[in-house]
Amino acid sequence: MKAMKYGSVPVQLNFSSDESRESKGHECRNTVMSQYIISTYGDLSLSQALDDFKNDPSHWDRQIKDGMARGSSWDAKCYSLHWEAYSSITKL
């Protein structure tokens, strides 16, 4: 979410179902921010994102500006879940 503040657009691998977005066992799965990402970007894969970037730059710019305007501070919901995930990755 923090990357969106600096102009990144969230894309996912080419998963065919919503299971790729689920975080089993965590009650923060349906936060306002995750609902925003799903409703705004849908199942935007990397190839779709690159196509959109190339063929519809004004739409791409609107998505980036909208994402940058959203509040995604470390005080947002599920901070502890994201921090736990980040911490475990840095220990690898």
pLDDT in tens, 36-65: 666 666 656 777 778 888 898 888 888 778
Q: Which domain holds residue 39?
A: 2-90
pTM of the predicted model as reported, rounded to 2 decimal places: 0.42
Overall average pLDDT of the 80-89 stretch: 77
Q: How many domains does the chain have?
A: 1
Overall average pLDDT of the 69-86 stretch: 68
Residue 20 clears pLDDT 50, i.e. is over it:
no
> What residue type is assigned to position 76 of the chain?
A
**3-class SS at 47?**
helix
User: For residue 24, how far is the Cα from the chain centroid?
Assistant: 17
